[in-house]
Structure formats: C-alpha cells, structure tokens
Amino acid sequence: MTIPIEQLQKLENISIIELFQLNLVSGLHYSSTNSNATTLYRFHNGTNEISTDIKWQGNTYTAVACQIEGFETGDNTVMARPTITFANTISNFSTIIELVNQITPFNDLQKAEIVRIRTMARFLDADNFANNTNPFGTPNTNMELEQHKYQINKKLVENNEICSFELVNTIDFEDLFLPRKQITKDRFPATGTFVFVWLGKKMPKNIL
C-alpha cells in the first residue's frame, strides 16, 4: 500500500515510501527525432511534510492522485498483475495518452515501463521536511529496496474521472512462466545441461 508523504510526521522511521517512474519508449510513445520530448514522468500519490512534491536522490516526484494495487498475489506460482489508477481530473493522464497515440495510434501507453521505487522515511532527502531536517534519521540516497519493473499491458478504463491500466512484470510473457526451481550442474552433474521444472504451462514455440 502506498503511504502519502503528507502524513510523514505520523510515520516511524522504518515506514516504506513508494515512488514511481513512467518511462516512455522512443519511436513508440514519442518521436525519436524530437529532442524536446518528455521521456519519463516521476510521481507519488502525495506531497511531503512542507506540502511540495517529494524529493528523492535529487529527483522530483510530482504529487499525482493515484491508487496502485495488486503487487502481491499470495500465490508464488502466479505473477502479480497490478493495476494503477489515476484521477484524470488532476493527473491528466488522458493528455499523455493523446500525445502518445499521435505517434502510435491506439497504443494507449502499452509497453511503457513503470518502475516501483521504495525507500524508508528516514532516508528521504532533507528538503522534504521543515527546517531542512529529516526528523527520522540521516538522509541516504543509496538506501532503497530492490526496484521492481513493470510494463503497461493494457488500458482498462478511461473516462472524465479516472484512467486505469493493468501492469505486467517485464518477464511475465504470455505462455511463459518462471521455473519453480533451477537444477544446476553442481547439484546434478549432467554433461553441461540445465534442467527446468515448469509450472504447468506450455513453453512458447519461439523460446528455443
């Protein structure tokens, strides 16, 4: 669950802060010859303690009204397909879609990358707080959890109020699941072979 930064004064120093970055694809979402094109958007669903956009590692994450759900499935045999929903009246993601569709008709941001970035409140840049002081600890821009990368798989809803997308893990391809276990040569010394235990779905024809 995403934690609004405006409530930082109520958080403990171990609270997880989620930030997001939308990366567009050259030639698909913007013209590769346009040197002034916007290629990425950084955002978070709140503001910092002083009611401005949050800063992390020197970058600004714009306050955007959004809801992100479904990162955890509770089933380790199925990859999560999260959804991200924007309040269209504020974030104006329909405008971004319109610009993208001028480059690739009906693309609707498909294959754009969403990066999930997580850190702890105590490591946030000092200028997120009053008196330029992080009350939870010492800022450390090197301290963050492992980033998770997703692609926008499809647009689910777009109207005057919201714009919603389904995300997929960048390694979650149709008809391809990760192996449950990799059996390596040091455990089973077959002659230079690697054996995978698949999760019951057929391998795509073009994987070999």
Q: What percent of the chain has pLDDT over 70?
A: 71
pTM, two decimal places? 0.74
3-state secondary structure 142-182: CCCCCCEEEEEEEEEEECCCEEEEEEEECCCCCCCCCCCEE
pLDDT band at 108 (very low <50, low <70, confident <90, very high): very high
**How does pLDDT run across 37-86, given as a tens digit for each residue?**
889 999 998 888 888 999 999 999 999 999 989 887 555 656 778 999 99
CA of 80: how far to CAs of 88, 126, 176, 207, in Å? 25, 34, 14, 22
Considering the chain, what is the average pLDDT of its residues? Answer: 78
Note the pLDDT of residue 92: 73
**How does pLDDT run across 149-168, given as a tens digit for each residue?**
999 999 999 998 999 999 99
